[in-house]
Structure 1
């Protein structure tokens, strides 16, 4: 199961009324693809926001030595960034984004993978919260007005005691070894991008990047696992059926006895399907190939592009 928990807007409000052992801090982790002309930071500052929110930027809290976007930060970078945000190790965090569930699973996964000690919840989801706010703004409050800072908390000395990186991440060297040895057949390895990007029929959104997929991986598009309107993760009881139906549609295979890996374009939506697989009960735990297709294609771009076989 995921290191973080899924929470509905109603349960989130209930949590704020019952939890007193730690601070409850909402975390706006909104992030948008470059071609959308939207800025998560700008929208956070302009509002509305969930009360008591800070802004967590996956393009800032990252490995600054990597040439690939928003890669998982080192523990030292994580400590520094969270200290600047004014967080404490035992804070209860409610992570959300204004798309629904897009970058917020990535942010929640970052917190727990790097070893945040307090409870981390993924709000499912902000758009449902907005609907409830329109019905009852007192019970489901929003913070309005423009602000100029990403946190209202004073800096702290945040320190991680134990991370979970080895349990949560697989790197390109390990993936390449699995491919070259043929051992990849012993894994469920799912790609969250659209089937057309996976198959090579559609171009990647990043200029100059070849399309296709890592040999031995299967297609599991993340959009099939979220509500088409709100973009929230489907209810737990619907996830298993949706996953198996989608895998059948894309010609993928799933073996519950095999360990599971996930990936996508740059490690964002790969966490969505990772979360869905674990939440559905189909797998107990899984690992993310953080560099995903962008790293693979740019590293091994001189090799043949592996495309899906046509039936």
Structure 2
């Protein structure tokens, strides 16, 4: 079950207009791959944002002890990050990114992990702009207009939602990975097959043995990067992509989603849950952790 709901730009604007007892806070979580050399935080301050948005930095509100990028934060780090942004437990949070749907699913999932009761994923910013809804283009000096709060999440669902490396390596070494799970990787097919380099030069390309590719770009609208609106459309899209790639996802098995660093894996996790899949977890360390921790013989190149 998804920890957040999709919301269209129209429904979001209607929600802002009708809600009178709680704050509806847009949460900009734009993040770029490091090889693009773009500064999402500077863009938030100097270019544009949805009015009254705060900026949630997935590279700051993370597990600071992990050597891997933006892993799930502990409870204290999350609470401090949310408090710094001035967010409250009863806020209605609507997460977006200025790419479309790229890093926003990761942010929405992270917030949902800590049982924030009302989290939405805007589907999406490109459609919001296209519809002519309000934008704030003034220069900002801070990542939030709200006063510091005392946010107190009491629990993390990480144990239920996150697959650790130790579980993944056990599944691969036992040979049970495909018999017991669907494992889908959101990276581009050429990266999955080891034909092109990874964006991080220290990491070899390839894939976890037993995984199948589900490139996230193929399940989003090519122009807007939006998810199909209905569950039926989403299920049809996933079915078409997997058949083209020569496999099917068994809905009776639990599914593990992954990617390069745990960001786009949440895109396909969102898609699968939107399509009706019930048991979808994220391998948070994803390919970066696997490639750096596993023996070279556990880096697959060919599709088996």
Judge same fold: TM > 0.5, yes or no: yes
How far residue 231 of structure 1 moved from its aligned partner, in angstroms, is 1.2
Which of 238, 256, 268 is 2:263 aligned to? 268
Residues 63-83 of structure 1 show CA distances to partners (whole Å, capped at 9, x for unaligned) of: 000111111101110011111
The whole-number CA distance in structure 2 between the counterparts of 1:35 and 1:208 is 13
The unaligned stretches of length 5 or more in structure 1 are 134-139
User: SS at the partner of 1:303?
Assistant: helix
Could you say which residue in structure 2 is the equivalent of 1:285?
279
TM-score, normalised relative to structure 1: 0.94
CA contact (8 A) 2:75 2:155 kept: no
How far residue 111 of structure 1 moved from its aligned partner, in angstroms, is 0.2
The whole-number CA distance in structure 2 between the counterparts of 1:106 and 1:72 is 10
How far residue 180 of structure 1 moved from its aligned partner, in angstroms, is 1.3
Residue 123 (structure 2) pairs with residue 160 (structure 1): no
CA contact (8 A) 2:58 2:107 kept: yes
How far residue 302 of structure 1 moved from its aligned partner, in angstroms, is 3.6
Residues 72-131 of structure 1 show CA distances to partners (whole Å, capped at 9, x for unaligned) of: 1011100111111111111100101100000000000000012223x1010011111111
CA contact (8 A) 1:188 1:255 kept: yes
The whole-number CA distance in structure 1 between the counterparts of 2:182 and 2:126 is 32
Q: CA RMSD in A?
A: 1.3
Residues 152-208 of structure 1 show CA distances to partners (whole Å, capped at 9, x for unaligned) of: 111111111232112211110111111111221210110000111111112111102
Moved more, 244-253 or 167-176: 244-253
Count of equivalent residues: 302
Residue 198 (structure 2) pairs with residue 199 (structure 1): no
Moved more, 165-174 or 243-252: 243-252
The whole-number CA distance in structure 2 between the counterparts of 1:159 and 1:37 is 35
CA contact (8 A) 1:87 1:156 kept: yes
User: SS at the partner of 1:43?
Assistant: helix
Give 4+ residue runs of structure 1 displaced > 6 Å after superposition.
none
How far residue 301 of structure 1 moved from its aligned partner, in angstroms, is 4.5
TM-score, normalised relative to structure 2: 0.96
Could you say which residue in structure 1 is the equivalent of 2:104?
104
